[in-house]
């Protein structure tokens, strides 16, 4: 109960100064991570929550299901088709190259990791979280095409990485247990996850849209029904021994196509309850995950964290955007603002619960330090660089690729 009191106090305290925070470079993830570090094992030692406990497991599952479903539902793929150039390059070329570069770097720096575990490290840290540098997607001085490219990449790459993490985790677990029967497990996880997501998202969205159009659904229950679709997809996949997180992401995509008007309810929910789950996750990250591992820092971990946030990310983005006509600074900007945040934390926690390997602590240490550096480095640099690039692009030629038309899509909002 002490843990609940501490978290409630931290959230209330930040709420009291949140308006001022939105006008500074201080972001909510920075504040809640720091608060977690202070009250956890690093400081007052008021927070005692086991990472393998049922409370943390439930929080991780609920938050990741919500993130995957809402990210998929808020990205209108049909509206994106006409201006998918930059985000398409980032996801189709930059993301695979980032995984390959991250795997190679991890295998080179950490000789005790197997190649599969090195790939798992890279996959955990491949998703980006635009909310860590909120100014990049919210600063109107930046052209909409740049803001939406970051937004779309962040919204889709976490869902795209779920099957990759699932496959690598299954192989790593099989290797750690001395077995090789992971092929059937992977097929089952992917197949039933995809099926459950398509059925729950498609049928649930279509039925909700039909009944809402007929005036049969009260306003608040449109939001609750939308949440039920996400939870139902996850639960159905798990009952069938499929992957519930794949189901949640696929359900979001199917729901967005079947119930376009109801997707506004997804955004409404994300800005309230989803904001709360995000705040609690970063608090627990600081208190129970990062705090106890601060003493585990080694030069290899520091080197990989630095490489992951720079060359492992930036070089693939530069290659992906070659011959795009964009400024070199724009490409560097998009390369740098690939923050590692919520999805990486949740993936790391899932790996800690599912992988029984003597090297799982190394995987966690790498992920924790990379996210910890990213929270502050990207949070502090977002607003100044967004203002600088925005000013430069506003004075450029109207036909610059960065200034082309783009559809304004909802963002995964985080205060600050």
Q: What is the pLDDT of residues 247-267, one digit of tens each?
A: 999 999 999 888 877 666 666
CB within 8 Å of 328: residues ≥ 6 apart? none
**Sign, Cα dihedral of 121, 124, 129, 132:** negative
**Contact in structure between 410 and 23 (CB atoms under 8 Å):** no
Residue 182 predicted with pLDDT over 70: no
338 has pLDDT over 50: yes
* Interval 351-370 mean pLDDT: 88
Exposed e or buried b per residue across 179-201, where buried means at least 16 C-beta atoms within 10 angstroms of its C-beta: eeebeebbeebbebbbbbbbbbb
Q: CA-CA distance, 395 to 413, in Å (whole number)? A: 29
Average pLDDT, stretch 95-110? 96
Average pLDDT on 200-207 reads: 92
Handedness of CA 195, 119, 159, 324 (dihedral sign): negative
User: pLDDT above 90 covers what percent of the chain?
Assistant: 36
pLDDT score of 385? 93
Mean pLDDT highest for which of 92-101, 142-151, 187-196, 279-288? 92-101
Residue with the larger pLDDT of the pair 269 and 75 = 75
The secondary structure of 307-363 as a DSSP string is HHHTHHHHHHHHHHTTTS---HHHHHHHHH-----HHHHHHHHHHHHH---TTHHHH
pLDDT for the residue 293: 85
Of the candidates 107, 171, 112, 182, the residue with the CA atom closest to the CA atom of residue 358: 112
How far is Cα 70 from Cα 348, in angstroms, rounded to an integer? 20
Assign 48 a pLDDT band (cuts: 50, 70, 90): low
Q: Is residue 73 within 8 Å of residue 291, measured between CB atoms?
A: no
pLDDT per residue as tens digits for the range 103-149? 999 999 999 999 999 999 999 999 998 878 777 888 888 888 898 88
Please give the domain boundaries of the chain with CATH numbers for all domains.
2-403 (1.20.1530.20)
Phi first, then psi: what are they for 127, rounded to 5°? -65, 145
Beta strand segments in 132-289, E = none
- Residue 86: pLDDT band (50, 70, 90) is confident
- Residue 297 vs residues 125, 364, 367, 385: alpha-carbon distances, Å: 17, 11, 12, 29
Cα–Cα distance measured from residue 396 to residue 393, given in angstroms and rounded to the nearest whole number:
5
How many CA atoms does the CB half-sphere of 147 hold within 13 Å? 25
pLDDT reading at 178 higher than 60? no
State the pLDDT confidence band at 180, using cuts at 50, 70 and 90.
low
Which of 111, 105, 113 lies closest to 172 in space, CA to CA? 113
Average pLDDT over residues 15-21: 79
Q: How far is Cα 250 from Cα 252, in angstroms, rounded to an integer?
A: 5
Q: Average pLDDT, stretch 333-356?
A: 88
* pTM as predicted: 0.88
At 181 the pLDDT is: 59
For residues 277 and 386, the model is more confident at 386
Higher model confidence: residue 66 or residue 304? 304
Q: Which of 226, 231, 308, 209 is nearest to 267 (CA)?
A: 226
Mean pLDDT for 196-218 is 89
**% of the chain beyond a pLDDT of 70:** 86
Torsion of CA 27, 33, 34, 35, to 10 degrees: 110
- Position 302 scores a pLDDT of 95
Q: What's the pLDDT band for 415 if we cut at 50, 70, 90? A: very low
**What are the distances in angstroms from CA 58 to CA 46, 124, 161, 193, 245?**
21, 19, 21, 19, 13
What is the model's pLDDT at position 416? 44
State the chain's mean pLDDT as an integer. 84
DSSP label at residue 412: -
Residue 45 scores a pLDDT above 70: no
Higher-confidence residue of 53 and 127: namely 127
Lowest mean pLDDT among 73-77, 83-87, 97-101, 384-388: 73-77
Three-class DSSP category at 249: helix
| 367-395 tens-digit pLDDT | 999 999 999 999 899 889 998 998 888 87
């Amino acid at each position: 109960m002490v843990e609940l009191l501490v978290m409630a106090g931290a959230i209330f305290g930040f709420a009291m100064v949140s308006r001022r925070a939105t006008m500074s470079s201080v972001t909510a993830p920075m504040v809640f991570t720091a608060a977690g570090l202070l009250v956890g094992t690093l400081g007052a030692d008021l927070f005692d929550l086991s990472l393998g406990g049922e409370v943390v497991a439930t929080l991780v599952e609920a938050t990741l299901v919500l993130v995957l479903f809402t990210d998929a539902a808020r990205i209108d793929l049909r509206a994106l088709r006409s201006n998918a150039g930059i985000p398409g390059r980032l996801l189709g070329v930059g993301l695979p190259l980032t995984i390959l570069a991250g795997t190679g770097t991890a295998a080179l720096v950490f000789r005790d990791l197997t190649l599969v575990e090195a790939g798992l490290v890279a996959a955990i840290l491949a998703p980006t979280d635009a909310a860590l540098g909120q100014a990049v997607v919210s600063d109107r001085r930046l052209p909409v095409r740049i803001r939406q490219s970051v937004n779309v990449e962040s919204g889709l790459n976490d869902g795209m990485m779920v099957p990759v993490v699932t496959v690598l985790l299954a192989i790593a677990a099989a290797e750690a247990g001395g077995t090789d029967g992971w092929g059937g497990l992977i097929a089952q996880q992917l197949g039933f996850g995809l099926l459950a997501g398509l059925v729950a998202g498609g049928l649930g969205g279509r039925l909700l849209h039909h009944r809402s159009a007929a005036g049969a659904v009260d306003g608040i229950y449109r939001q609750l029904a939308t949440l039920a679709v996400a939870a139902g997809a996850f639960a159905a996949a798990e009952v069938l021994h499929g992957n519930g997180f794949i189901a949640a992401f696929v359900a979001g995509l199917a729901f967005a196509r079947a119930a376009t008007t109801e997707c506004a309810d997804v955004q409404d929910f994300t800005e309230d309850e989803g904001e709360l789950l995000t705040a609690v996750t970063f608090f627990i990250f600081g208190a129970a995950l990062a705090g106890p591992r601060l003493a585990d820092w080694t030069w290899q971990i520091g080197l990989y964290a630095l490489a992951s946030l720079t060359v492992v990310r930036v070089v693939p983005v530069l290659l992906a955007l070659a011959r795009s006509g964009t400024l070199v600074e724009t490409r560097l900007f998009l390369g740098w603002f690939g923050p590692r945040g919520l999805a990486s934390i949740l993936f790391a926690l899932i790996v800690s619960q599912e992988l029984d390997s003597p090297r799982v602590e190394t995987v966690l240490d790498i992920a924790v330090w990379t996210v910890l550096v990213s929270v502050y480095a990207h949070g502090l640099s977002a607003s100044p660089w967004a203002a600088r690039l925005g000013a430069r692009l506003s004075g450029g030629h109207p036909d610059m690729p960065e200034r082309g038309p783009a559809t304004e899509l909802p963002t995964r909002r985080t205060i600050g």
